[in-house]
Structure 1
Amino acid sequence: MTSRCIPPLRLAFEAPTTFHFFGQVATIASILLALTLGMHYRHIQISLAATEASLAATHQAKLRESRRGEVAPELRIRTAEELAIANEVIRRLSLPWEDLFAALESSTDDDVVLIAIEPDADAGSVIIAAEARTSQAMMDYGQRLMGSARFGDVRIQNHQVQVQEPQKPIRFTIAARWLFHADTSKRQTGGGR
C-alpha cells in the first residue's frame, strides 16, 4: 500500500479588505462633505450677522436723519443696497437644504459614495460627484435620483474607471435640476404646513 502525501492546508484568516476600503472612503467623504457644508453654512451666518449689524446701524442713522427732517440720498442708496443683500442672504438660508441632503442620502447605498455636492440655487441645479463599485451601481444611482421628487433632468455628465485603484471604482458626475421652487413658495404663503 502506497501512502499519498496530502499537501498542507493553508488558511487565510484575514477578512477581505474590499468592504473596509469602501467604508473608509464613504466615512472620509461624509466627513469632508459635512465639514464643507458646515463651513459654508457658518460663512452664510457670519455674512447674515454682518449684514444685519450694518442694516441696524443704517436704520439708526436713518432715524437720526429723519428727526432732523431730511435723509441724505447716499444713505437711501446704501440702505437699499443693504436691504437687497440681506434679502438675498435670507432667501439662500430659507432654501430647503435639509430636503436636498435627505434626498441625496436616501438615494445612496453601499455601492455608491458621494464625493462632492455643488448646489447652485440661482440656477436651480446641483452637480453631484460620486464613486460607484460598478457601472450598474452608477446607473441605479442615477435612476434613484430620477425617481426623487427633489430632482429633475438627471443625467450622467461623465464617468471614468479609476484603474490606479485596486477595486477599479467608477468616478462619475451627475447634473440635475434641483426642484425647490414650488416648495419654498408654499412655505412663504403658509401652504406647505
Structure 2
Amino acid sequence: MSIAPLDLDFLRPRAGSRRTGTILLGIGVVLTLIVAGRYADFKEERARWEDKVSDTRKLARRALPGLSASEVPSAELQAELRRANAVLDQLSLHWDRLFEDVESAVDANVALLGLQPDARGRVVTVEGEARHLDGLLAFLSRLESTRSLERVHLVSHEIRGNNPQRPLAFKVLAQWVSTP
C-alpha cells in the first residue's frame, strides 16, 4: 500500500472564491455608504439640537424688564389695586352658606323683606316682618345659632298699624363670620 502524494497548490485560486470575495466587497461598500449617510443625518440633527440649546441658553440669560423698587405706583394704579383686592375679598366669602343660614332661620311667622350683606365690614342687615313678637324672638334665636352669623342684634322694630294683620316690622344687624 502506498500513499498517494499530496497535491498542494497554494497559488491557484479556486473558481468560486473570487466571486464570493467580489460579492462581499460590494456588500461592504453598500453598507459603508449607508452608514456614512446615516452619520451625516445624525450630524445635521445634532447641529440643530445644539442650536436650539444655544438659543434657549441665550433666552435664559437675557435681562428681563422689571420694576425697580424705587418706582412708586401712581395713585390711579393704587386705587385700581384697592378695587381689585375688594373684589377678591368679596369672591372669597362663603355667600352660599350665608344665604342658606338666613333662609333656614325663616319660618311661617317671619317674612324676609331684605338682606344686605356688607362684605367689607362683614356685617349683614336683615329686614322683615313677623306676625308676633314671639315669632320675631324665635327668628333671632335661630339666626344666632347659625354657623355664619353671630352677635345678632335687633336694631329696630315697630308695629305696622296701617295693616289689618298688624305685623311687626324689624331690622336686625349681625356679624358675618366667613369660615370654611
Alignment TM-score, normalising by the size of structure 1: 0.53
Aligned to 2:160: 162
Counterpart of 1:152 in 2: which secondary structure? Answer: strand
CA pair 84-113 structure 1, distance change in 2 beyond 3 A:
same
2: distance between equivalents of 1:87 and 1:70?
21
Q: Note the residue ranges of structure 1 that are not aligned, 5 or more in a row.
A: 1-65, 184-191
DSSP 3-state at the match of 1:110: coil
Query: Tell me, what secondary structure is at the counterpart of 1:82?
Result: helix
Structure 1 runs (4+) greater than 4 angstroms displaced: none
Point out the structure with the larger helix share: 1
Sequence identity (%): 30
Alignment map for 1:1-193 (pairs within 5 Å): 76-77=73-74, 78-180=76-178, 183=179, 192=180
- Whether the 8 Å CA contact 2:89–2:119 is kept in 1: the answer is no
Cα distance change, pair 90–161 in 1 and its aligned pair in 2 (3 A) = same
Q: 1:70 Cα deviation (Å)?
A: 8.5
The count of corresponding residues between Structure 1 and Structure 2 is 115
Match of 1:14 in 2: none
CA 1:147 to 1:70, structure 2 compared with 1: closer, same or farther past 3 Å?
closer
Structure 2: 5+ residue stretches without partners: 1-63
Larger Rg: 2
Q: Distance in 2 between matches of 1:172 and 1:70?
A: 54
C-alpha displacement at 1:136, in angstroms? Answer: 0.6
Offset of residue 150 of structure 1: 1.1
8 Å contact from structure 2 (residues 101, 148) kept in 1:
yes
TM-score normalised per structure 2:
0.57
Q: CA deviation at 1:93?
A: 2.0
